[in-house]
């Protein structure tokens, strides 16, 4: 294409490519035509042949003087950096945080001083146990790490989608992670906690019981990053201009509500699309459906902390929202994917100790250990103390210090003085007024290795969490624990866990024991303090009780065939998209179908590659001829049977009934099946979808 006829899009792409190929202010090498940039070495030398190494003759040996090959293979050999020990499987996006109101009464943190101000942000979601190449829908904690580039330095809220943790003291962190990772003698299982080592550790660590209830719940298999909460986990402090302290806990609430998948569904999603969560976030942002969360804070003073039933410094405890309602203080919007995954998402470095003035730490022993540990992590992974020079980690506010040199230094102090105080009047100085100050908390005690007695109740909040779940969710917890313990070869481990469960809920312990074939129940595990049974249920802890009010952000898979009713299909698509949801067509062939009125429609999936587990609800818009063919296809029958088994809402045209019957689903089985016969039925289907699942069906389905 000549310069005269080149499209604006192509011209933009060319400029972008040239920008990427330019070095630090260097000129861009071009071919004689000037249209295509010339390939160069990293030193900028143009390359004449990138297809062949330099040889002696056509079939002779390669020459060591081939510096282009040497440089290319050298860089390739060193492309990989050590993956994270935990949270290796991650995905990130750019966005911004918008402050709702001034919080100057509680904190002098600049980000909370002006209503409506937007602060750049980068967020990384992740699993914990699996390697970088594991699948997205492992049963696991999800990392929810937020980097806010404030005007007074980077603030990292390095949290999870679960508000508590397995351990109370950071010295046990290597142990819990060692136990959940692949067993060292056999190096499996990958991205699974269903094995002896993990449950051996847990069964010997009563403080983990609250966390186990969360991890065995549906919180550990979220439908999407967009539909899960995030928690700062620990208790932090706000400090205002008068250095007055207010305790604070951070919670991210998704605008689209909470949603998870069923375990049987998660297993099949991992087979059909191991990048399910990544693809969901990518597609949402690329289509302009920007994910959004509200940042809520639980604020309390020392008097509240002293009167609360549990120690606010214990990371295995929560403050129920019914006791201390979260206060919305801003919103987080993700609106841009990284230009390069490695450059940004893989190299981003989150650290709990990254806080701006006005944010301070509590004495939570797990938080204290994280603050100490994270620098070592970044040095090991990124190879240099200069990891803050990487653009994704660099502050976006002015900064100045005397740190210098080291591997891969990209900036250093200018001038004569690289220390202070100095006589030359050079360089930055302390700023007592604006600088970071810690809360002046009086401390008195004996130096000792101990665990406070206020951390001793390991079962009461675990019981509260279980009692706060709906009957459906309680069933899922029991099924999850049973499955995981069934994979343990040592029966002693199973019995120890049942003994703990009996302290949480006797019926839960008995049900798990029965499924595991434990004929005689063990006595309940010894407790340091008697578990309480007077804690009220907290509806905020249930996913089902906190579902969305609309079907927005979800996805409907429509199974179609040649000759189907195009007018009805168009009405269905229009209604779903108006709701803010997405429609994707599944057809016998990925090339698409031709409707009864002759319209060709491309399909996003062929039936072999588009199982119903990928969608939140499904519709069958088929012709009489098409259904006869699909009824013979196992994948089509599975499409319907799985949607029914996973309690999804199913719409169908009258012509699709034979496929329902071949899948073992009666057209009038329950209210979750909606016959599509006109616009009124389309509206009825969409109204049903807002409930997400027909949980009443689950008891009738044996998975």
Q: Which residues are catalytic?
A: 87, 160
- Mention every residue, 6+ apart, whose C-beta is less than 8 A from residue 177: 85, 86, 129
Rounded CA separation 459/317 (Å): 10
Kindly tell me the burial class for residue 464, based on how many C-beta atoms sit within 10 Å of its own C-beta (0-12, 13-18, 19 or more).
buried
Q: From CA 150, how far away is CA 359, in angstroms rounded?
A: 12
* DSSP track, 123-186: EEEEESSS-TTS-TT-SS-EEEEEEEEETTEEEEEEEESSSS-S-SSGGGHHHHHHHHSPPTTT
- Give the Cα separation of 290 and 664 in Å (integer): 39
Compute the distance between CA of residue 374 and CA of residue 82 in angstroms, rounded to an integer: 15
d(CA 454, CA 532): 14
**583/604 Cα distance (integer angstroms):** 9
The pair of structure tokens assigned to 33 is 């035509």
Q: Is the peptide bond before 119 cis (omega within 30 degrees of 0)?
A: no
Locate 384 and state its tokens: 């240099």
8 A C-beta contact, residue 552 and residue 581:
yes
Instruction: Say if CB 435 and CB 509 are below 8 A apart.
Output: no
**Separation CA 383–CA 380 (nearest Å):** 6
Angle at 232 between CA 231 and CA 237, to 5 degrees: 140
The encoded tokens of residue 144 equal 């929810």
Neighbours of 11 (CB within 10 A): 12
Q: What is the CA radius of gyration of the chain?
A: 29
* H/E run at residue 249: strand 245-254
Distance CA(439)–CA(239), nearest Å, equals: 7
Other Cβ atoms closer than 10 A to 665: 21
Q: What distance lies between CA 126 and its chain's CA centroid?
A: 5
What is the largest distance, in Å, between two alpha-carbon atoms of the chain?
91
Distance CA 273, CA 284 (A): 16
Q: How far apart are CA 646 and CA 588, in angstroms?
A: 23
How wide is the angle at C-alpha 480 spanned by C-alphas 475 and 481, nearest 5°? 100
């Amino acid at each position: 294409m000549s310069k005269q006829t080149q499209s604006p899009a192509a011209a933009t792409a060319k400029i972008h490519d040239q920008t990427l190929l330019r070095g630090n202010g260097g000129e861009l090498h071009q071919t004689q035509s000037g249209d295509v940039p010339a390939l160069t070495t990293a030193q900028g030398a143009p390359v004449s042949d990138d297809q062949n190494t330099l040889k002696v003759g056509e079939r002779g040996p390669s020459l060591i003087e081939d510096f282009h090959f040497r440089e290319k293979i050298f860089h390739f050999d060193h492309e990989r950096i050590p993956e994270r020990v935990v949270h290796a499987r991650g995905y990130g996006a750019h966005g911004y945080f918008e402050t709702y109101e001034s919080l100057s009464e509680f904190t002098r943190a600049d980000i909370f001083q002006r209503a409506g101000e937007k602060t750049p942000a980068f967020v990384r979601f992740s699993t914990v146990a699996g390697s970088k190449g594991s699948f997205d829908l492992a049963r696991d904690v999800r990392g929810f790490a937020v980097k806010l580039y404030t005007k007074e330095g980077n603030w990292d809220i390095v949290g999870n989608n679960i508000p508590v943790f397995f351990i109370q003291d950071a010295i046990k962190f290597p142990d819990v992670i060692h136990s959940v990772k692949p067993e060292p003698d056999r190096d499996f299982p990958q991205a699974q906690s269903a094995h002896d080592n993990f449950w051996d550790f847990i069964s010997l660590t009563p403080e983990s019981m609250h966390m186990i209830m969360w991890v065995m719940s549906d919180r550990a298999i979220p439908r999407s990053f967009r539909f899960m909460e995030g928690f700062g986990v620990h208790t932090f402090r706000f400090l205002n201009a008068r250095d007055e302290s207010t305790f604070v806990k951070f919670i991210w609430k998704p605008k689209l509500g909470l949603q998870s998948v069923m375990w049987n569904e998660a297993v099949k999603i991992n087979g059909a699309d191991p990048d399910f969560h990544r693809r969901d976030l990518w597609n949402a942002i690329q289509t302009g459906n920007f994910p959004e969360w509200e940042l809520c804070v639980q604020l309390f003073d020392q008097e509240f902390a002293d009167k609360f039933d549990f120690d606010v410094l214990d990371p295995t405890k929560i403050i129920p929202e019914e006791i201390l309602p979260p206060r919305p203080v801003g919103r987080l919007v993700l609106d841009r994917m990284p230009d390069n995954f490695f450059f940004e998402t893989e190299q981003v470095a989150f650290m709990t100790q990254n806080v701006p003035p006005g944010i301070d730490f509590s004495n939570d022993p797990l938080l204290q250990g994280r603050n100490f540990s994270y620098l070592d992590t970044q040095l090991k992974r990124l190879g240099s103390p200069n990891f803050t020079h990487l653009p994704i980690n660099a502050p976006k506010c002015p900064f100045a210090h005397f740190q210098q040199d080291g591997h891969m230094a990209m900036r250093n102090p200018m001038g004569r003085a690289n220390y202070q105080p100095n006589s030359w009047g050079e360089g930055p100085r302390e700023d007592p007024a604006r600088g970071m100050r810690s809360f002046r908390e009086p401390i008195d005690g004996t130096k000792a290795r101990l665990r406070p007695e206020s951390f001793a109740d390991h079962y009461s909040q675990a019981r509260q969490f279980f009692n706060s779940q709906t009957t459906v969710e309680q069933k899922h917890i029991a099924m999850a624990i049973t499955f995981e313990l069934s994979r343990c070869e040592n029966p002693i481990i199973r019995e120890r866990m049942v003994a703990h469960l009996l302290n949480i809920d006797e019926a839960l312990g008995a049900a798990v024991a029965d499924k595991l074939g434990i004929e005689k129940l063990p006595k309940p595990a010894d407790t340091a303090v008697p578990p309480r049974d007077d804690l009220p249920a907290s509806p905020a802890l249930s996913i089902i009780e906190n579902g969305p009010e609309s079907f927005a952000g979800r996805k409907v898979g429509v199974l179609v065939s040649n000759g189907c009713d195009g007018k009805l299909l168009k009405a269905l698509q229009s209604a779903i998209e108006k709701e803010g949801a997405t429609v994707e067509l599944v057809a016998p062939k990925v090339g698409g179908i031709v409707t009864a009125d002759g319209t060709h429609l491309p399909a996003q999936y062929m039936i072999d590659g588009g199982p119903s587990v990928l969608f939140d609800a499904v519709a069958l818009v088929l012709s009489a001829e098409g259904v006869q063919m699909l009824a013979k296809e196992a994948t089509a029958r599975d499409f319907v049977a799985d949607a029914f088994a996973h309690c999804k809402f199913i719409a169908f045209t009258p012509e699709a009934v034979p496929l329902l019957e071949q899948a073992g689903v009666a057209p009038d089985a329950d209210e979750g099946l909606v016959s599509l016969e006109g616009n009124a039925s389309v509206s009825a289907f969409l109204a049903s979808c807002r409930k997400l699942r027909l949980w009443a069906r689950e008891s009738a389905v044996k998975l």
